[in-house]
């Protein structure tokens, strides 16, 4: 059988959400920055994104990482989504860190901690890989600054009327209290959450496009439904991120957790340097802490701690005559 294309990857999941790191098969990219090379990939090789992430090799929730060189950091990488390119992705950063450890590129298993910088389209972040007994026990990344752009925006869609805070955490979010939207933060509530979240996202973006949301010029990427809980160990934010009508983040979401931290600090519900746990609907936690940024009072520096696990090493091929060479998605 003739093979027209092959791509090698290492796959992992972070608290249930998949990451597919490309390790071979991408042609050389043009550009002086990671952002420029991501744009070059988008312009010339977008079919590789759909080939890897869409069915039959992937699915709507799949996220890809393409590594590239960087003049600003130890590594460069950009993130592929099933529908769009992402400026930053927290769960995939954790997955990439574990993949780099798996490949032996960031130190030996005997070292308690390995650290590296990573240039992504949103900026340069710092990542620490913590080991115990020769295995990765946790990954911490210092995200780009997060801030609240607008509070208490009234949105009516999907049969509900809610208030949303618009927040940047590396991607743009509309943060909505789950109970106010009638959303259950449990596996059984996902279908309703997807429909409600997609409707709220569409309406909020229409309002932004019409100039009706003060201080916000760019569309949001996702709706983050949250519920604040209190446990003996401290504050827990149970949350579910709806990206599209058929796509939600299985993890607590790294950039979403960053946005939630900024919201909680802005509302005076937590203080700086106070760790909280962000929890997905599968009861897996990240630890999230807001740090101060020198010279800024409008934003916080999020520190997110989580863990990923390798799920496989793959060599994807495109066989001659495949009737669906670029893959497909069904909403």
pLDDT at 1: 60
Same fold, 3-131+310-319 and 147-306: yes
For residues 171 and 181, the answer to whether their CB atoms sit within 8 Å is no
Report how far residue 225's alpha carbon sits from residue 180's, in angstroms, rounded to the nearest whole number. Answer: 10
- With residues binned 3-state (H G I as helix, E B as strand, rest as coil), the percentages for the chain, rounded to 5, are 20, 45, 35
pLDDT of residue 109: 87
What pTM value is reported for the model? 0.96
pLDDT band at 232 (very low <50, low <70, confident <90, very high): confident
Residue of 48, 60, 67, 89 marked active site: 89
Q: For position 94, what pLDDT does the model report? A: 98
* Spatial separation of the C-alpha atoms in residues 76 and 94, rounded to whole Å: 14
Half-sphere exposure at residue 242, Cβ-oriented, CA atoms within 13 angstroms = 28
Which of 29, 31, 16 has the alpha carbon at shortest distance from 66?
29
Given the structure tokens 């959450």, which residue do they identify?
193
Nearest partner of 304 among 166, 135, 139, judged by Cα: 139
216 CA to centre of own chain: 21
pLDDT the model gives residue 17: 98
pLDDT, tens only, 63-106 = 999 999 999 999 999 999 999 999 999 999 999 999 999 999 99
Least Cα distance to 304 among 290, 292, 288, 317 occurs for 288
Average pLDDT value over all residues in the chain? 96
Reported as a single tens digit per residue, the pLDDT across 286-317 is 999 999 999 999 999 999 999 999 999 999 99
CATH H superfamily, domain 147-306:
Diaminopimelate Epimerase; Chain A, domain 1 (3.10.310.10)
pLDDT class of 218 with cuts at 50, 70, 90: very high
Closest by CA position to 11, among listed 56, 50, 57? 57
Residue 156 pLDDT more than 90?
Answer: yes
C-alpha dist (Å) from residue 171 to 88, 103, 126, 165: 7, 28, 17, 14
Statement: residue 230 has pLDDT above 90: no
- Please tell me whether residue 254 adopts helix, strand or coil conformation: helix
67, 253, 270, 300: the catalytic one is 253
Structure tokens at 62: 């799949």
Nearest C-alpha neighbor of 221 from the set 237, 238, 202, 240 = 202
**Tell me: the pLDDT tens digits for 236-288?**
999 999 999 999 999 999 999 999 999 999 999 999 999 999 999 999 999 99
pLDDT at 243: 96
Domain coordinates of the chain in residue numbers? 3-131+310-319, 147-306
150 in active site: no
> Considering all CA atoms of the chain, what is the largest pairwise distance in Å, rounded to the nearest integer?
63
Please identify which residue in the block is written with the tokens 């519920």.
227
Determine the topology of domain 3-131+310-319 in CATH.
Diaminopimelate Epimerase; Chain A, domain 1 (3.10.310)
Q: What is the pLDDT of residue 233?
A: 81
- 89 given a catalytic annotation: yes
Give the list of residues 6+ apart from residue 191 with CB closer than 8 angstroms, or none: none
| pLDDT band at residue 4 under the 50/70/90 scheme | confident
């Amino acid at each position: 059988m003739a093979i027209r294309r092959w791509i090698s990857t290492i796959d992992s999941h972070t608290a249930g959400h998949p990451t597919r790191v490309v390790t071979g098969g991408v042609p050389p990219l043009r550009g002086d920055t990671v952002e420029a090379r991501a744009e070059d990939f988008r312009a010339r090789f977008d079919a590789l994104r759909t080939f890897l992430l869409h069915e039959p090799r992937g699915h709507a929730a799949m996220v890809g990482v393409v590594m590239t060189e960087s003049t600003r950091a130890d590594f460069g990488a950009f993130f592929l989504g099933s529908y769009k390119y992402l400026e930053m992705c927290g769960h995939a950063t954790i997955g990439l860190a574990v993949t780099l450890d798996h490949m032996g590129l960031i130190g030996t298993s005997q070292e308690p901690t390995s650290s590296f910088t990573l240039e992504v389209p949103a900026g340069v972040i710092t990542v620490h890989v913590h080991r115990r007994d020769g295995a990765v026990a946790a990954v911490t990344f210092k995200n780009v600054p997060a801030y609240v752009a607008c509070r208490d925006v009234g949105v009516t869609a999907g049969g509900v009327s809610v208030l949303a805070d618009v927040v940047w955490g590396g991607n743009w979010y509309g943060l909505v209290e789950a109970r106010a939207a009638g959303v259950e933060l449990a596996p059984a509530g996902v279908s309703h959450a997807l429909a409600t979240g997609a409707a709220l996202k569409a309406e909020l973006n229409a309002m932004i496009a019409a100039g009706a949301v003060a201080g916000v010029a760019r569309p949001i990427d996702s709706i983050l439904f949250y519920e604040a809980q209190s446990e003996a160990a401290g504050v827990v934010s149970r949350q579910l991120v709806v990206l599209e009508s058929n796509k939600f983040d299985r993890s607590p979401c790294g950039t979403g957790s960053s946005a939630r931290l900024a919201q909680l600090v802005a509302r005076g519900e937590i203080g700086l340097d106070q760790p909280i746990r962000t929890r997905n609907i599968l009861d897996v936690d990240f630890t999230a802490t807001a740090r101060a940024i020198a010279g800024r009072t409008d934003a916080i520096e999020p520190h997110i701690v989580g863990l990923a696990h390798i799920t496989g090493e793959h060599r994807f091929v495109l066989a001659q005559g495949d009737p669906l060479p670029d893959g497909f998605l069904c909403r």
